[in-house]
Amino acid sequence: MILVETSHPGNIGAAARALKNMDLQELVLVRPRQFPSAEANARASGATDILEKARVCATLAEAAADCTLVLATTSRERDHYYRVLDVRDAAQRAVAAAAQGPVGIVFGPEQSGLTNDDLANTHALLRIPTGEHYASLNVAMAVQIVSYEILRARGTAVPVAPREVPLATAQNMELMYAHLADVLEEIDFRERTQNGSNLHNRIRRFLQRAELDGNEVNILRGILSAVQQRRRRAGA
């Protein structure tokens, strides 16, 4: 579970307690406003061991670097480029994927939630059903619900055949996106619409939806390298 810019230390402690209740161990904090904290320890109430081994990161990219599946919680409507999973379906998917590699589930700040930039390495959005009049959940409450669904999914998930090759990590995907950006610049391929900045985001989103494995990333990077080598020969 990855908590981004949590402002209230009590929510961090309550999230740690939620994890321990549901037999989960790994808590990652991205730029928490106040941590370590006596209030976090008090709210953890028996789960201080989760807090003691919590990893603190400067960026979400660092927190999710080794994850092969990243799900982001949101209560807001996002554009149609993102796949949206109900929390129960997302939990089953996360349990199945965890057999192959680390899975990250991301929770945003209490006041604002996750930004569109935070969603850059997300494979799908996770949504907790709520009443229509007020959809915003306390972050620790959201962690509790997702953790509970994961506990249930561990006992009910349909067995999934192991993948031959694990999904690419977020770090490997970032390297591929940087490589792709270099090649697009070299071949002068730009979006021709008024807002050209959307091109890279759109490419990133459809590749995230494709959920590439490590070999597929290597194939794409090999194609990009071949394009670069051909251009260099042509230039010479």
99 and 17: one domain? yes
**Exposure string for 78-99, b = 16+ CB within 10 A, e = fewer:** eeeebeebebeebbbbbbbbbe
Domains of the chain: total: 2
Categorize the per-residue pLDDT at 232 as very low, low, confident or very high, splitting at 50, 70 and 90: confident
| CATH code where residue 186 lies | 1.10.8.590
Q: Is the same domain home to 47 and 74?
A: yes
Residue 182 to residues 85, 175, 185, 188, 198, Cα–Cα distance (Å): 33, 11, 5, 10, 16
pLDDT band at 36 (very low <50, low <70, confident <90, very high): very high
Whether 126 is covered by a domain: the verdict is: yes
The strands making up 2-4's β-sheet, listed across from edge to edge, are 55-57, 28-30, 2-4, 103-107, 69-73, 124-127, 84-86
Domain of residue 60: give its range: 2-156
56 and 121 part of one domain = yes
The answer to the question of residue 163 being in a domain is: no
Partners of residue 126 on adjacent β-strands: 73, 85
CATH number, domain of 6, equals 3.40.1280.10
173-194, pLDDT tens digit by residue? 999 999 999 999 999 888 766 5
Alpha-helical runs (H) found in the chain: 9-21, 38-44, 48-52, 60-63, 87-98, 139-156, 170-186, 198-210, 214-235
Residue 227 and residue 182 share a domain: yes
Q: Is the same domain home to 27 and 115?
A: yes
Tell me if 164 is assigned to some domain.
no
pLDDT over 60 (residue 196):
no
In this structure, the answer to whether residues 126 and 178 fall within a common structural domain is no
Residue 59 in domain: yes
Amino acid at site 59? T
Q: What is the pTM of this model?
A: 0.77
Average pLDDT over residues 6-15: 96
CA–CA dist 218, 213 (Å, integer): 9
Segment 103-126, tens digit of pLDDT = 999 999 988 889 888 988 899 999
Do both 90 and 190 map to the same domain?
no
